[in-house]
Structure formats: structure tokens, C-alpha cells
């Protein structure tokens, strides 16, 4: 995250300036980010909720993931490329979430530490779910401008998170 902020400090400034609005518009995400801050402050004393919100939004400005899903009989294969910028950092944050009820495994989801939600999930023999990011194509927008458009759309209370 420090590399991302160092390259463009305006990203973190956006979350600092809009933290209260995030709390109102996306209370679940804000609550998760604040809980993450409470856990991480013991390792980094000045860690803020705005920094946790930035981590949660990393997909908005650095992923272009693609999924391939194949079905053979009842077997589902879901392949994901996790095509992130800063792979030397992002690879260290990817892990498998296991959703369980007691000892029964309900679903698996490759995830990114610090993200509230699921990008990819598989319930064996049932379904596969994928969230992929593509910026709104507009020849007039640079990638940087498209990132800002996505970040501001997160604050639009008419847009419901999945």
C-alpha cells in the first residue's frame, strides 16, 4: 500500500476526505475497515480507517482479472488470473477463504487480505461466482481518470454494493 500511496498520494487523500461519507453510504464496508484498523494499529500505531478503506478499494485501480469457467458433467472448474498491478505485493495478500458450518465446508473463495467481500467463489458441485473489473470505456478518459470515476461512484448512494 505504501508504494501505491507514494506513487499517487491523492488516493489516500480521497479516503481521508470522504471517510464520513463512506460511513454513511457503505456502513458495512466502513465497519469492516474500522475493525481492520483496530487490529492493525497494534503493529502500526498510526494506521487509520481511511488507509483500510484504501486497501479495500485496491481492486478499483489495479486489477484487470479474467475468469474462465468450465463445466464437465457435475464438475466446475473456475480459473482466475488475478492480474494485478504490483504483483510483488499483491501475491502476498491472496489467500483462500473457507466458509464452513461446523465442520462442513460450504464454499471456497480466493480472497485478498483487507478486502470486504468475495471476488471469486466456488461451491463444489453447485455454482461458481466471479467479479471482474473493467473500466468504463471512454476514449476521452485516461486510466487515471477512470480510476477516479470508479472511486467517486463508490460514494454514490444509489449504487448498491454486491
Q: How far is C-alpha 111 from the geometric centre of its chain's CA atoms?
A: 8
Please report the pLDDT score of residue 5 as a whole number.
Answer: 66
Query: In residues, how long is the chain?
Result: 162
End-to-end Cα, the chain, rounded Å: 24
Report the 10 Å Cβ neighbour count for 156. 9
More confident call, 150 vs 12: 12
Q: pLDDT tens-digit profile of 106-126?
A: 887 888 887 777 877 777 777
pLDDT tens digits for 91-103?
888 888 888 999 9
Partners of 69 in beta bridges:
78
Give residue 24's Cα distance to chain centre.
19
Which stretch of DSSP H or E encloses residue 102? none
Instruction: Quick: pLDDT tens for 30-62.
Output: 888 898 889 888 888 888 888 888 877 766 666
* Dist CA 139 CA 122 (whole Å): 35
Domain range summary for the chain, segments of one domain joined by +: 1-62+142-162, 64-132
The reported pTM is: 0.64
Residue 130 has pLDDT above 70, yes or no: yes
Amino acid at each position: 500500500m505504501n508504494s501505491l500511496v507514494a506513487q499517487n498520494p491523492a488516493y489516500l487523500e480521497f479516503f481521508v476526505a470522504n471517510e464520513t461519507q463512506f460511513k454513511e453510504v457503505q456502513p458495512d464496508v466502513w465497519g469492516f475497515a474500522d475493525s481492520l484498523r483496530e487490529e492493525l494499529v497494534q503493529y502500526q500505531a498510526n494506521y487509520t480507517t481511511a488507509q483500510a478503506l484504501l486497501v479495500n478499494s485496491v481492486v478499483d485501480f489495479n486489477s484487470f482479472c479474467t475468469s474462465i469457467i468450465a463445466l464437465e458433467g457435475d464438475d466446475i472448474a473456475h480459473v482466475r488470473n488475478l492480474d494485478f498491478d504490483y504483483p510483488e505485493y499483491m501475491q502476498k495478500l491472496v489467500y483462500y477463504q473457507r466458509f464452513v458450518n461446523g465442520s462442513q465446508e460450504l464454499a471456497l473463495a480466493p480472497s485478498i487480505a483487507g478486502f470486504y467481500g468475495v471476488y471469486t467463489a466456488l461451491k463444489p458441485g453447485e455454482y461458481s461466482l466471479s467479479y471482474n473489473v473493467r473500466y468504463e470505456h471512454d476514449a476521452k478518459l485516461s486510466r487515471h481518470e477512470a480510476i477516479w470515476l470508479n472511486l467517486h461512484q463508490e460514494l454514490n448512494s444509489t449504487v448498491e454494493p454486491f
